[in-house]
Amino acid sequence: MAQTGDSGSKGLNISSFGKTDVGKRRKSNQDSIFLSPDNRFFILADGMGGHQGGEEASRLAIETVRGVFNSPDGPRQLGEVDEESLKNIPDTISRMTRAAVLEADRAVVEKGGQTPELQGLGATLETLVIGEGAATIGHVGDSRVYRLRAGALEHVTEDHSVLAEELKRRKMTPKEIKDFPFKNRITRALGHLGDRKVDIHKYGLEKHDLFLICSDGLTDVAKDEEIESILRETKGDPKGACEKLVQTALDGGGPDNVSVIVVVVG
């Protein structure tokens, strides 16, 4: 899915492309992505909870977040989101991002409670909103958002995972990381946000900025250096970047579903 056009953000031209693939070892694709037609709003969710549960969780997450941002009243319509949790968030887009993520969490919890075979379902979630001269990111889980600026790649989200917590405590060799028994265990996900913690990041936009949103089907296979090289090589061509990134994951064995969204600021 490719798009290009004016986002209305300080006259910047935004182009984007998204691609998702089941991979080589999974029977179903539990990832979901969304790119808004006006190039202002992008979502990626990676579901978990078995074949049916993972698909439903990622679909429901994206549907719910879209509903919040398309609502005329935004977070004011969300009875489950208390104003106390929003009052210290200064700008409207950040407030709506947090409200949307919390509403998606509530929807996933509710779905699991209503349907016994879906108990335990959950999803990671990444949202990116372009507006007011900035990129606003909402983040839960171990999917990632990267920014490429002036040729340098920066991982702007922090993995919510047992491995990430372990790496904060000690240095680990590549082999230790590969063999770490809880490498794929996440510490925060939709459907399990008991502490209601949502990471919100906001970055001013500069011409030629590039944002990559991706599931761990890419980052479990490709190192940051390889991702950076591909993005630099294909800069200005989001479709080409997405296709090369997905192919890299598949060439690495395609052990998981892989999804990528590339957003280029022109």
Predicted pLDDT at 73? 61
Is the CB of residue 5 less than 8 Å from the CB of residue 17? Answer: no
Predicted pLDDT at 4? 47
Give the closest residue to 102 by CA, choosing from 146, 67, 144. 67
Predicted pLDDT at 72? 67
Predicted pLDDT at 9? 56
Residue type at 67 in one-letter notation = G
Is the CB of residue 125 less than 8 Å from the CB of residue 65? Answer: yes
3-class secondary-structure state, position 162: helix
Predicted pLDDT at 12? 82
Is the CB of residue 138 less than 8 Å from the CB of residue 197? Answer: no
Enumerate residue ranges in the chain where pLDDT < 50.
2-8, 75-83, 85-86, 89
Cα distance from N-terminal residue to C-terminal residue, the chain: 18
Q: Across the strands, what pairs with 44?
A: 33, 126
DSSP character for 230?
H
Residues near 15 by Cβ (< 8 Å), separated by ≥ 6? 2, 3, 4, 5, 39, 238, 263, 264, 266
DSSP character for 77?
G
How far apart (Å, rounded) are the C-alpha atoms in residues 68 and 101?
A: 9
Domains: count for the chain: 1
CATH of the domain at 157: 3.60.40.10
Planar angle of CA 191, 179, 170, nearest 5 degrees? 80
Q: Which domain holds residue 256?
A: 2-265
Strand order in the sheet with 31-35: 31-35, 41-48, 122-131, 134-140, 199-204
Pairing label, strands 199-204, 210-214: unpaired
Predicted pLDDT at 81? 44
